[in-house]
Amino acid sequence: MKLVLLRHGESVYNMENRFTGWTDVDLSAQGVLEAEQAGRLLKENGFVFDKAYTSVLNRAIDTLMIVEKELQTMILTFSTWKLNERHYGALQGLNKDEMRAKYGEEQVHIWRRSYDVRPPALSWDDPRFPGYDRKYRNLKKEELPTTESLKDTMKRTIDYYLNEIKPNLLKGENIIIVAHGNSIRSILKYLENISDDEIMNVEVPTGVPYVYEMDSNLEIKNKYFLK
């Protein structure tokens, strides 16, 4: 069976070089084109999916909808906050270059790419706190992050993968996950047993499908970017 990981197309905050996190921004015009190209590549290479999984953020959901349009099919889809992007805390919405000028290149790199270092946290009364968003109204205040490291993101993402996605792969289903740079990095780290240090150098491009070909025991037989 096949598991495809797809980071959403470029968002408007990607384009503006801002920390995005759980901020629910749209795809940029370039991001729409990237999603269309991803869908065409999947169709040209004969991909058919039994299920799709996304975060609850529009840029991931919209990317999947565009892919479905290119595939000319609807895929049974499940959306969950556990596949959301890493929460960047008080950095969300801020320009990365401005933060480099303020805190230094090394510190910003650590916040962006390290495994277990969290950025500065939001307060619960900050309007950016996700508790003010109706998408999360069924979650307790304490369940919602005010900041996250990749380690935190990985905990929720892999919990969902193991409990909801893996059982379907074991049934032989082909699955696509449309998510975000850090939720996808979490899955890559888990599936490929990437070390805490090595994951700092792993980049996930927007709009490029990453394919795993697996046997019935979910052993990886092949992996590649579809270009």
152-199 pLDDT per residue, tens: 999 999 999 999 999 999 999 999 999 999 999 999 999 999 999 899
In sequence order, the 6+-apart residues with CB closer than 8 A to the CB of 84 are 22, 55, 56, 57, 179, 180, 183
Q: What are the pLDDT digits (tens) for 66-88?
A: 999 999 999 999 999 999 999 99
- Residue for token digits 């047993």? 193
Known catalytic residues are 8, 85
Determine the angle formed by the axes of helices 181-192 and 150-160, rounding to 10 degrees: 70
- Computed over every residue of the chain, the mean pLDDT equals 96
* β-sheet bridge partners, residue 211: 4, 224
pLDDT at residue number 81: 98
- Domain positions in the chain are 2-225
User: What's the whole-model pTM score?
Assistant: 0.96
Q: What are the pLDDT digits (tens) for 101-138?
A: 999 999 998 898 889 999 999 999 999 999 999 999 99
Q: With cut-offs at 50, 70 and 90, classify the pLDDT of residue 149.
A: very high
Range 2-225 classified under CATH 3.40.50.300: no
Share of the chain above pLDDT 70, in %: 100
